[in-house]
Structure 1
Amino acid sequence: MIKNYIKTAFRSLYKNKGFTTINILGLALGLLSCLLIVLYVVDELSFDKYNVNHDRIFRVNEDLKLGDNKVDYAVAMPPLAKTMKAEYPYVVEATRIKAAGTTHVKKGDLTVVENRIAFTDASIFSVFTLPMISGDPKTALKDPNTVVLTETTALKYFNTTDAVGKTIVFNEKENFKVTGVIKDVPKQSHFNFDFFVSLESFPDSRSNEWLRSDYNTYVLLKDKHYAKQLEASFPAFLQKFSGAQMQSELHMSYDQFEKSGSYFRMNLTPLDDIHLRSARTGELGPNSTIQYVYIFSAIAIFILLIACVNFMNLSTARSANRAREVGVRKVLGSSRQHLIFQFLAESVMVTLFATIIALFASIALLPLFNQLAGKEIVLTVQMLTWIIPVLFAIVVIVGALAGSYPAFFLSAFQPIAVLKGKLSAGFKSSFLRNFLVVFQFGVSILLIIGTLVIYNQLNFIQTKNLGYNRSQVLVVQNAYELGNQASIFKQELTELPGVKATTMTGFLPTSGWKNTRIFFKDASLNQKQSMFPQTWDVDADWIPTLDMKMAQGRNFDKNIATDSSAVIINEAAAKFLGFNDNAVNKELYQSLGGKTELANTKLYHVVGVVKDFHFNSLREKIEPVVLKLGQNIGALSIRVSSTNLPALMSQIKAKWSGLSPSLQINYSFMDQDFDTIYKSEQRVGEIFVIFTTLAIIIACLGLFGLAAYAAEQRTKEIGIRKVLGADVTSIVSMLSKDFVKLVVLALVISAPLAWYLMNKWLQDFAYRVQIQWWVVAAAGAGAILIAVVTISFQSIKAALANPVNSLKDQ
């Protein structure tokens, strides 16, 4: 019997090849889109889950508010980890990580630039699951000048994973002994380092400063439920250990500090939440946001619903044409139960074909999707163990739902009424079908509006005046490795034709370097009149090289001796301090700690105010900045004007080689560094466009099929109208207007919802576009145009048909 159902279903589907193809293609596209998005979402949600104790690991954060200044840190004080383990019996282990930045590593006669190096405590292997291939995890990083490599890194430098005992050289002079090799850190980790260097090699790690924050600190608890208890104890803990230094630095006790409206607090972030729910200062890498998981999950659901609705719509449309078939079958003795099974078999078979196509298409397109999304997702056997059952459930559920209408409704027809043609129905008679078309295009319009808003925001980011000119600025990232010769390198480049200006400092708007200091408006160090700005050491060429503009006063002048105690502040700092009218010649004080206030306070005078410039993501407001005239050789920025850039680059490289033959120059262009900051937004925008396009294609496939059905139902009417003189335009208009009305209704319903949702997304940006009326109008016009074009193909075909053939008895 089952074999007969399958055979009959196959014959019926083959007979109606057009509808079958549209159904399978639309559903396959929907399932493919949904499957790729599900893989993306699962990958995002799996971050740090590779750790055996992931639910018991927490990062300790710091929140600081001083006056009206507020900073949320992902880093903590140097002595915190050791102290917490000693103070709390339920803290099983604590460890610290400090990113090392760009480092040059010797590989034979070559020098390789490495950026994934971290200083860590020996306890890191007791907190995180980093399986060791060779070496002892308990002692690997216990001694100074020791390093643990990942498997890939060991193969890269020593062609073997048995690298324990070998020596690796950093920055031409620092020798480190390899004491262990671990498996590569999984891609789904909030940190990805290739070198783990003992923190014992870093003298600053033994600092006892409690008012400094520069170590990512993690604790492993006996049970995750201790987290609330631990957080509740933090105020007393901070008062005990930081109180004395607070008194020395800020001249007030911890209680006085809290009562003044300021605060210095700690809190915990679960390890599982770092990747998607943390955007603090001092993160170990770029994190994503849970918002994108919600957005893409919604898109996946919407696309799958559009595909399923499309399938159901076409199935119900076709069912009217099969009413006579049902009548004949009943007259010949077929039971209702057999008819139900027959319709369901056809529906499930179409769904099965579409699912198989979607699965193999997702495997084929996964590399392309990974490139687009910046992922490295791999379909493993373990993943297939849950993907295949889910797809099987979709086959059964979607197939049953799509086939339920013809199965239960048509099978109940009385054969006499059917054979007399009393149940013939046109397009207008189906409220369900109209509702489903409105739903499809409502979702499509919502996605179109979302795509336009995201595109406008990304375009706004790219074109906004950032307060500096990032175009044609070459940044030599590792200038610090020249040491005392860095200033010579700068001077030699300044003399090259094609070089307009140079500046030497690692503090750049696109570098991510951060440094905060506390300043006061008067010598009494009243914290209510304090500021906690970014404090950057720059040279006198910094502002001209970055093409910044002065709002008040002047730039630094290296020929004026008093500028050694001068500062330039940005407009945000001037506004924060109440210096709006004239900040020039105002004074700022910086406490250096100690018992005697004036003896340990440095006085600075403001010589100028630079116009605000963006140095964070546009998600964040511009913070106060204080620029000090000082020496920093972290990087060298070069503004070029040469029309022959390759020749100029050769000259720059030659100058570098002349000063440091064994070190390779490491450079980038500032506009590329800027684009990196917004890479995740750009990827999201691209993915959004692709899946929105697929959703529209799926909806159009359904509309195409329904238009064909509507034209078929009204074949005789069209023939009569043509005989009576109707032209092609009027017939096309007649067939199209019902569909266009539904699309307009979809626009009316979806536009307010799309505006609300995208406005919520834009709230994440401190600097953002406003959703203009034309965005909604363009989305609506686009949807209507797409619908008209889709419908017109079938409408024109029907209108051009020979009326003689149309009026024949069918």
Structure 2
Amino acid sequence: MMGNYFKTALRSFKRNKGFTLLNIAGLTIGLAVCLLIIFYVFDETSYDRFNSKGDRIYRVNSDTKINASITSSAIAAPKAAEALQLNFPEIENTVRLLSDEEVRFKKGEELVLEKNTLFCDPSIFAVFTLPMLEGDPNTALAEPNTIVVTERMAEKYFGTTHVLGKVLTRVGDDNKSTICRITGVIKNLPAQCHFEADCLESMASQPIASNQNLAAFFPFHTYLLLKPQADYKKLEAKFPAFLKKYLDFIDAMEKQGDYIKLNLTPLYDIHLHSNRANELSANGNIQYIYIYSGVALFILLLACINFMNLSTAHAAGRAKEVGIRKVLGSPRTGLVLQFISESVLMSFFAMLTAVLLAWALLPAFNQIAGKSLTVTSTMIGWLLPAVTGITLIVGLLAGSYPAFFLSAFNPVKVLKGQTVAGVKGSRLRSLLVVFQFAISIFLIIGTLVVYNQLSYMQHKSLGFNRRQVLLVKHLNALNKQGAAFKQEVLHLPGVTSATLSSFVPTGHRRWTNYVSANNNVHQTEFWPVDEDYLRTMNMSLDKGRDFNAALSSDSSAIIINQTAARAMGFAGDALDKTIVLGDNQKQYHVIGVVKDFNFNSLRDNVSSVVLTMTTAFERKKQGDRPDVLAVKMNSDNLSALLAGIEKKWKSFSNNQEFDYSFMDEDFDNLYRAEQRTGKIAALFTTLAILIACLGLFGLAAYTAEQRTREIGIRKVLGANVPDLVVMLGASFLKLVCIAFLVAAPLAWLFMDKWLQGFAYRESISVWVFLVAGLGALLIAGLTISSQFIKAAVANPVKSLKVD
């Protein structure tokens, strides 16, 4: 019986090629988008799932409030891991990770920069699942100056993974060499890991790891492995009493409304649900998973709606077939199964095409989404059942209404030609068209808002000028000659100024400290800079003066931003006020107030920052600590200037790698997630409009075909072509207008909530809605006009001869 159904379905497809192609095209696009999003969601939700004990691993976070300064961080004090395990028996093990971002190892005569390096406790292999190919995981990192490398790093330095016992020479910031013995080789970390590491160094090599102050602010990422059946929420509830046991000033802080708190984040939640300061790497966002999944579902629904609309609009062509089948004794159940089988078969053909299309589009989608998605054997294991299930669901969903609609025809009325078919009089079909275009208009508005916000962020005044600023990195490789290198660069034509510092507004390095002012403690950014910093960054002073290297008193001078002045109670006049640095109690006097500048993402408000001047003498004494040279340029020949700076670099660094970036590019990278969202939204919007237009095109064609005789009569009675086109298209354009009225307020509510995630944002302009509404009308008009013009210009004599 089913074989007969499928044979009949194939004959129907062959007779109605245009109808079949439109339906398969719409379903193919919808299914291809669905598959791409499934790949994306699967990748994003797979982070850290490779850990066999992952459901018992939790990260310790720190939340602090000091006066107006509130910090939510992904780190804890060095002492926290030991103290927590000592006090809570439900903790089975702990491990600390400390990022060592810029490590240089010797490879022959070359110094190679390694950015994915972590200091780790020996227990890392007992907590995380990091399969070791060589070495003993129990002792690999027990001693100082021992390291464990990945397969990738072993191949890079030695050309083989059999490197147990070999050594690598580590060159530190002070250019002192340390011999590191390789005690283990592990498999490369999966891409779905919330931290990256090619080299694990022994924590015993890090002096600050033994700091016993539970309130110390060091960037240690601390993880707990709880015992089976332990409840992490109950453990969290014990943390306040735990902190009071070790920190006797907690009660006094709480009386002032301040606090220090610890809390836990499950390992599986880190990538998608955590966006704290000091994350080990850039995390994803669960909201974008919901958004992309919702859009994919809507696009698939658009394709299904197309199928329903075109099938019911095409009902007139199959009415006699249904009537004859019923007269010959075919039960309604048989007719329903016939039409459902046609729908499932069409869904099957569309899925085959969609799989090929998704596979072909995967490289382009990877580039847009910033992923490296591939179809693996693991993916195929769940993909085949998923594809089968989606095919059946789509076939049943898209074909159910047309099947029941067609099978319900009265055979007597059908054979007398009294059936109602096509678009005219179908409220459900009109509702579905409204739904289609409401989704499309919603996506158009959302895409315009995203791009408008991106444009706003890219053009907003940040309080500094990021244009034509080159950042030369890793100056610690110059063996204490950073200041001399700066002077040489200043002599190059096209260089207007330069500054040495480890802290730039678009950088990731931050130093948070505590200062005392007006008898209150304040948490603030603390940046050592040189005397040329404000000039090079083009920052403006609100009050006071800039640093002066010729004044010895400026070694204890500071410049604060306007936010810090307000937070410290210096809103009237901060000049000559005294501020005490918390860690060494050194006193500084304020010589200037710089206008607020954004040194974080525009998602966050400007926070307090304090600038201190590091003199040339102090840089020499400290081993030339600044590791970035920011160069302000004014040159028409940028390539020649870059070549000149690189030549100077190599003369100072003994031909080491020249690593640089442009500040405006670094700024744009802060909003990579939003840029990707904009591109993906634009892609999905285009596809949604394309699917809606395919359906509208088919409906217009069948409407014109149904009203052929009416058009002929109107032409004979004197109607002209424009009047006929307007008459035929008015009902469709009216539906688009209704769709706009439905979509516009929903889009405003949704996008306004999205914009709330930015401290600095552009309001949703009226022009966004006007462009979306007029654009949808124009697209719909162009889609249906070709069919209606074709019908309107046809010879009325031939039209009146249509049966």
Give the Å deviation of 1:191. 0.2
Paired residue secondary structure (1:427) = coil
Residue 781 of structure 1 is matched in structure 2 by 774
Contact 2:437–2:736 (8 Å) recurs in 1: yes
Moved more, 508-517 or 231-240: 231-240
Separation in 2, partners of 1:366, 1:126: 37
What is the CA RMSD across the aligned residues, in angstroms?
1.6
Say whether the 8 Å CA contact 1:113–1:666 is kept in structure 2: no
Q: Deviations over 1:392-451 (max 9, x none)?
A: 223223222333334333333332211111113342211110010011111111111100
CA distance in 2, matches of 1:331, 1:257: 87
Q: Contact between 2:315 and 2:421, CA under 8 Å: does it hold in 1?
A: no
Q: Show the counterpart of 2:607.
A: 623
- The one-letter code matched in structure 2 to 1:227 is Y
Inter-CA distance 426–411: structure 2 relative to 1 (3 Å threshold): closer
Q: Distance in 2 between matches of 1:218 and 1:115?
A: 22
Is the CA contact 1:117–1:195 (under 8 Å) kept in the aligned structure 2? yes
The reply to whether residue 708 of structure 1 matches residue 701 of structure 2 is yes
In the alignment, is residue 227 of structure 1 matched against residue 232 of structure 2? yes
1:740 has 2:710 as partner: no
Per the alignment, residue 285 of structure 2 pairs with: 289
Residues 244-255 of structure 1 mapped to structure 2, 5 A cutoff: 253-255=249-251
Paired residue type of 2:542: A
Q: Which residue of 2 aligns with 1:181?
A: 185
Cα shift readout 1:639-664 (whole Å, capped 9, x = no counterpart): 11122222222222222222221522
| Equivalent residue in structure 1 for 2:677, among 681, 684, 689 | 684
Q: Which amino acid is the alignment partner of residue 38 of structure 2?
A: V
1:15-164 pair list within 5 angstroms: 15-164=15-164
The residue that corresponds to 1:518 in the other structure is: 514
Would you say 1:646 and 2:639 are equivalent positions? yes
Name the SS of the counterpart of 1:534 in structure 2.
Answer: strand
Maintained 8 Å contact 2:502/2:626 = yes
Kept after mapping to 2: 8 A contact 1:445/1:779: yes
SS at match of 1:737: helix
* C-alpha contact (below 8 Å) 1:719/1:802 kept by paired residues: yes
- Cα deviation per residue 1:592-646 (whole Å; 9 max; x = unaligned)? 47xxxxxxx3322111111111111111111011111124412111111122222
Q: Counterpart amino acid of 1:134? A: E
CA contact (8 A) 1:323 1:423 kept: yes
Q: CA 1:101 to 1:409, structure 2 compared with 1: closer, same or farther past 3 Å? A: closer
1:604 aligns with 2:601: no
Secondary structure of the residue that 1:764 maps to in structure 2?
coil
1:724 has 2:699 as partner: no
Looking at structure 2, the residues matched to 263 and 569 of structure 1 have their Cα atoms a distance apart, in angstroms, of 25
Contact 2:314/2:421 (8 A) holds in 1? no
| Alpha-carbon distance in structure 2 between the residues aligned to 1:782 and 1:224 | 57
Are 2:677 and 1:672 equivalent residues in the alignment? no
Is the counterpart of residue 540 in structure 1 residue 523 in structure 2? no
**What is the Cα deviation at residue 184 of structure 1?**
0.9
Contact 1:111 1:662 in 2 (8 A): no
SS in 2 for 1:219: strand
- For 2:452 and 2:402, locate their aligned partners in 1 and report how far apart those are by CA, in whole Å: 45
2:448 matches 1:435:
no
Q: CA deviation at 1:327?
A: 1.7
- Determine if contact 2:90/2:230 at 8 Å carries over to the other structure: no
Aligned amino acid, residue 219 of structure 1? L
CA offsets, 1:37-82, max 9 Å, x none? 1211121111111111111111111111112211111111112212
| TM-score scaled by length of structure 1 | 0.95
Aligned residues of 2:314 and 2:422 also touching (Cα < 8 A): no
Match for 2:579 among 571, 588, 593?
588
Structure 2 regions of 5+ residues with no counterpart?
A: 620-624
Q: Identify if the C-alpha distance between structure 1 residues 381 and 585 changes in structure 2 by more than 3 Å, giving closer, same or farther.
A: same
The DSSP-based 3-state class of the residue aligned with 1:390 is helix
2:622 is aligned to: none
The correspondence of residues 743-754 of structure 1 with structure 2, limited to 5 A, is 743-754=736-747
The more displaced of 68-77 and 628-637 is 628-637
Work out the CA distance in 2 between the residues paired with 1:401 and 1:82: 57
Residues 344 and 392, structure 2, Cα contact 8 Å, conserved in 1: yes
Q: Distance in 2 between matches of 1:802 and 1:712?
A: 14
Kept in 2, the 8 Å contact 1:117–1:193? The answer is: yes
User: Which residue identity does 1:617 align to in structure 2?
Assistant: S
Give runs of aligned pairs for residues 536-575 of structure 1, distance below 5 A: 536-575=527-566
Alignment of 1:458-477 (within 5 A): 458-477=454-473
How far apart, in 1, do the equivalents of 2:244 and 2:409 lie? 81
Between the aligned partners of 2:347 and 2:501, the Cα distance in structure 1 is 61
Secondary structure at the aligned position of 1:579 is classed as: coil
Describe the superposition over 1:718-770 as per-residue Cα deviations: whole angstroms up to 9, x where unpaired: 11111111111111101111011111101101111110001111111111110
1:300 maps to which of 275, 296, 302: 296
Distance in 1 (alpha carbons) for counterparts of 2:116 and 2:445:
40
Shift of 1:148: 0.8
Aligned length, in residue pairs: 789
Q: Which residue does the alignment assign to 1:578?
A: 569
C-alpha distance in structure 1 between counterparts of 2:724 and 2:747, whole Å: 34
Indicate if the aligned counterparts of 1:55 and 1:224 stay in contact, CA closer than 8 A: no
- Verify the 8 A CA contact 1:315 1:402 in the aligned structure 2: no
**How far 1:780 moved relative to its partner?**
0.9
Partner of 2:489: 493
Contact 2:308 2:402 in 1 (8 A): no
The CA distance in 2 between the partners of 1:434 and 1:802, in whole Å, is 30
SS in structure 1 of the partner of residue 238 of structure 2: helix
**1:368 CA displacement:** 1.9
Q: 1:709 to 1:165 in 2, by over 3 A?
A: same
Q: Check if 1:795 corresponds to 2:803.
A: no
Other-structure match for 1:264: 260
Distance in 2, matches of 1:805 and 1:464, equals 63
Greater mean deviation of Cα atoms: 745-754 or 330-339: 330-339
Contact 2:340/2:399 (<8 A) preserved: yes
TM-score (norm. length: structure 2): 0.96
How far 1:474 sits from its partner (Å)? Answer: 1.1
CA distance in 1, matches of 2:285, 2:402: 44
- Is 1:405 aligned with 2:405? no
Partner SS, residue 518 of structure 1:
strand
For 1:399 and 1:441, how far apart are their aligned partners in 2? 22
CA contact (8 A) 1:61 1:268 kept: yes
Deviation, structure 1 residue 224:
5.8
Q: Are residues 1:415 and 2:411 paired?
A: yes
Q: What is the Cα deviation at residue 109 of structure 1?
A: 3.3
Q: Aligned pair in 2 of structure 1 residues 225, 443: CA closer, same or farther (>3 Å)?
A: farther
- Which amino acid in structure 2 is aligned with residue 610 of structure 1? V
Deviations for 1:102-145, whole angstroms, at most 9, x for unmatched residues?
Answer: 22222233332221111111111111111111111111111111
Unaligned runs of 5+ in 1: 244-252, 594-600
1:186-197 map, 5 Å? 186-197=190-201
CA shift for structure 1 position 225: 3.6
Q: 1:408 to 1:233 in 2, by over 3 A?
A: closer
Quote the Cα distance in structure 2 between the aligned partners of 1:364 and 1:151.
31
Alignment match of 1:453 (pick from 449, 459, 465): 449
Kept after mapping to 1: 8 A contact 2:557/2:588: yes
- Please give the alpha-carbon distance, in whole angstroms, between the structure 2 residues aligned to 1:606 and 1:420: 96
Picking from 354, 362, 366, the partner of 1:366 is 362
Question: How far 1:93 moved relative to its partner?
Answer: 0.9
Post-superposition offset of 1:337: 3.6
Equivalence for 1:241: 246
Residue type at the aligned position of 1:147: I
Q: CA deviation at 1:332?
A: 4.2
Contact (CA 8 Å) 1:568, 1:608: kept in 2 or not?
Answer: yes
Distance 1:42 1:663 in 2: 41
Q: Distance in 1 between matches of 2:610 and 2:37?
A: 44
